[in-house]
Copies of this chain bind each other. A is one copy, B any other.
């Protein structure tokens, strides 16, 4: 007798065969029907027990959460809700789950409660579905880039430099904190630290990615990045995963094309490969929104929204056009925006981005050519000397999902910018050398992976789309 996954017994032609299945009890009702799940799919296999043939002591152990090995014959189901079921011949209890202490009972738990049980929450349908979608999206990302001739590059997590010249960072050290070695000037003596210098956790692999693009041509990173910012919101994590493609010889237009094509293909992959999970998550969202006022409900069901994004052209709008639209918009004139738009150069807030996407254009939007002074030092200056070749992809419900730019490839312009911003030319020596030797137009962007998972699963809090979230005051598990 062979062992199969639940997905296999549900989907392949094993009818009338004897099978073995391992899994966890999702529910056990009428002393007869075990719903068994092993994580391979959202769907359970129903196992039908003739309780008279089994020992009472054994049946007592069949509680929600218990791990079982079941053997029996796969037959057509008599009941509704499933096509096949197992007529159970043997049951082995790997491990029980005392209903008085096991916290994941078959009832609705709040997402907040489940966060405190992050080691067990993947045993619920919702979190198993989210994490399967997350895994599929990860793979879709690799698949997309590998298929298109990109090379995966692992940029360093521990860094001696601060890539963006901004963003709070975590320090990485092995120095004794109680007896910190000091220099004669009374500063911390990092020359005695593990790396012989001050080091931090990276906020972006972009600069190193650029170095690799200038040799391998087309690269992407996919790794963890960090922000030591004390922001406790539903959109921020202290540790999150980021995807950063970088392409030599691509200008900003090609960069926008890449971002749009990439996001669409990745979402399409999920639509094609996570059908059951997305249907479940769609239903979850519909149920959740029933209790909300109509104005707060989603415009479309989850799957329709994903298709809408993957099938429609993203609207490309310059920052300058966007400012005009916003300045003349109702919420601006009626002073409904928290930050009113009155002049060119203003940084756009989430409320503005969402207005453009959700109210004005009603589709994903790519904003480009931002004012130089609100963007990073490495972005290519336009001929107008006021704007840079930056772009942000804005999504409904999420806001910015991608931020990217064409990079400044001119050594002299880059040096001036570094000087003007008081950044360290010395620290960026190697980054500048990329412009000194064989420099060329190149572009790239960063996609915050958890925001993509958030969008694709329809979840509301970013803590619920990563296995063990790290946020201020929280590094449990």
Contact = CB atoms under 8 A, between A and B. Distances in A.
Interface string A87-129: 0000000111110011010000000000000111011000110
A435 interface: yes
Interface string A409-434: 10000000000000000000011011
A247 B444 CA distance: 37
A159 to B, nearest CB: 7
Contacts of A102: 437-438
Contacts of A467: 153-156, 208, 212
A214 interface: yes
A39 interface: yes
Interface in A1-28: 3, 5, 7, 22-25
28 contacts: A24-B214, A24-B438, A39-B216, A39-B248, A40-B217, A65-B438, A66-B438, A67-B440, A94-B409, A94-B439, A95-B439, A118-B211, A123-B438, A131-B151, A131-B153, A135-B153, A138-B142, A139-B146, A155-B468, A156-B470, A157-B224, A173-B173, A177-B177, A178-B187, A194-B238, A195-B474, A208-B467, A430-B476
Interface of A: 3, 5, 7, 22-25, 38-40, 65-67, 69, 94-98, 101-102, 104, 118-120, 122-123, 127-128, 131-132, 134-135, 138-139, 142, 146, 149, 151-161, 168, 170-175, 177-178, 180, 182, 186-188, 194-197, 199, 201, 208, 211-212, 214-218, 223-224, 226, 228, 230, 238-239, 241, 248-249, 409, 430-431, 433-441, 466-468, 470, 472-477
